[in-house]
Amino acid sequence: MEWLAKINSAIDYIENNINVKVDYEQAAQIACCSLSRFQNMFLFLTDITPSEYVRRRKMALAASELLNSEIKISDLSFRYGYESPEAFTRSFKALHGTSPSKARKNGKINDYPRISFQFKITGGHFGMDNQPQFTSYKNITVKVEYITLKESFKFVGLGNKGMEPFENIGIFTEKYKQTVTNNMDERINFGMYTNLPNGDDWDYYMGVQVKDLDAIPEGLTGFDTQTKRFAVMSVGANSMSELVGDESGPSGAMMTAEEYTNNVWMPEHKGLAILDENGNCGKVLVDGKIYHTGCFEAYPKNCEEAIKMQFYIPLK
């Protein structure tokens, strides 16, 4: 695959310049794409930004050199581009959980291997259950993959009835999130549609995935989707405003990805929209399977570091 060769060449450039200032514009040119597209693609593939990858690789290489030579820590910090030993130590601790001097003494470090992009991804600290597919749509790249949970997806959240549009997002985060912390899946916050998103005629809940529905806090609503398998559409960005928009309006990569999900991916399955007996949960019947058109939207827990939005389409 040509794009694999190009992005691996970009990684070659990064690795060859790891001890000097990496020019991400140059890396993007080698990958034959814009800087924004390169950063987004890298984020999709690795769940970290290129700059965070460089930092982790520097600290992995520095730790190896620390244990296998008598180089001074101050010299090591300047060798890897840090202006002071203190800044180097902070970065070192972030990966290895200890200071350079203690790591040299006890010989314990965390490795972070070079990443290479193949038919499956190796290196780093992540894994996938299937080979993702990438689709270009307008100015974004969408990653499509499928996941299967061990148990059905359960959700607890706050609805939007009687509120201004999406006011429930802030209210849930401020008032309710801590009350469900012990029961929640720590990885992600979810937004959930519970009927067809046609015009203003839809309900939106903000909440979290939970382990069970035994103790739902007062004021919140719980759902068991009875679904374990999901199609996941992912889109990344370089900043939160680029992802979701800013004070000028709710534009950005997330809106474009949602447009792709609803207007391209779903229609390609040639489904028929239906509702359940309660008028909830917009669904599409495709080859005997049920697809919910009201996707779950997920922010990864580390979205400040890896700014990404995922649309979970339940599959029955």
Q: Please report the pLDDT score of residue 27 as a whole number.
A: 93
Q: Please report the pLDDT score of residue 16 as a whole number.
A: 92
Residue 220 lies in a domain: yes
Among the candidates 101, 122, 143, a domain finishes at 122
Q: Determine the Cα–Cα distance for residues 304 and 311; give it in Å rounded to an integer.
A: 18
Residue 127 lies in a domain: no
182 plus 274 within the same structural domain: yes
**pTM of this structure:** 0.56
Q: Is the pLDDT of residue 226 over 50?
A: yes
Q: Is the pLDDT of residue 165 over 70?
A: yes
Confidence of residue 279 (pLDDT cuts 50, 70, 90): very low
Instruction: Identify the domain containing residue 30 by its residue range.
Output: 2-122
137 plus 25 within the same structural domain: no
Q: Note the pLDDT tens digit of each residue in 15-25.
A: 999 888 899 99
Return the minimum-mean-pLDDT range out of 25-29, 55-59, 166-170, 274-278: 274-278
138 plus 111 within the same structural domain: no
Q: Is the pLDDT of residue 130 over 90?
A: no
Q: Please report the pLDDT score of residue 41 as a whole number.
A: 76
Residue 47 lies in a domain: yes
Share of the chain above pLDDT 90, in %: 5
Q: Is the pLDDT of residue 125 over 50?
A: no
Long-range contacts of 191-194 (CB under 8 A, 24+ apart): 191/296, 191/297, 191/298, 192/155, 192/157, 192/223, 192/294, 192/296, 192/297, 193/282, 193/292, 193/293, 193/294, 193/295, 193/296, 194/223, 194/280, 194/281, 194/294
163 plus 242 within the same structural domain: yes
Q: Is the pLDDT of residue 26 over 90?
A: yes
Residue 128 lies in a domain: no
Return the minimum-mean-pLDDT range out of 41-55, 153-167, 258-272: 258-272
Among the candidates 122, 147, 175, a domain finishes at 122
Q: Is the pLDDT of residue 102 over 50?
A: yes
Q: Is the pLDDT of residue 281 over 90?
A: no
Among the candidates 72, 87, 122, a domain finishes at 122
138 plus 219 within the same structural domain: yes
> Three-state DSSP class for 314?
strand
Note the helical H segments in 19-175.
24-30, 35-46, 50-67, 73-79, 85-96, 100-106, 167-171
Q: Please report the pLDDT score of residue 269 as a whole number.
A: 64
Confidence of residue 249 (pLDDT cuts 50, 70, 90): low
What's the domain count of the chain? Answer: 2
Q: Please report the pLDDT score of residue 24 as a whole number.
A: 92
- Which DSSP state fits 228? -
Q: Determine the Cα–Cα distance for residues 133 and 144; give it in Å rounded to an integer.
A: 5
Q: Please report the pLDDT score of residue 301 as a whole number.
A: 58
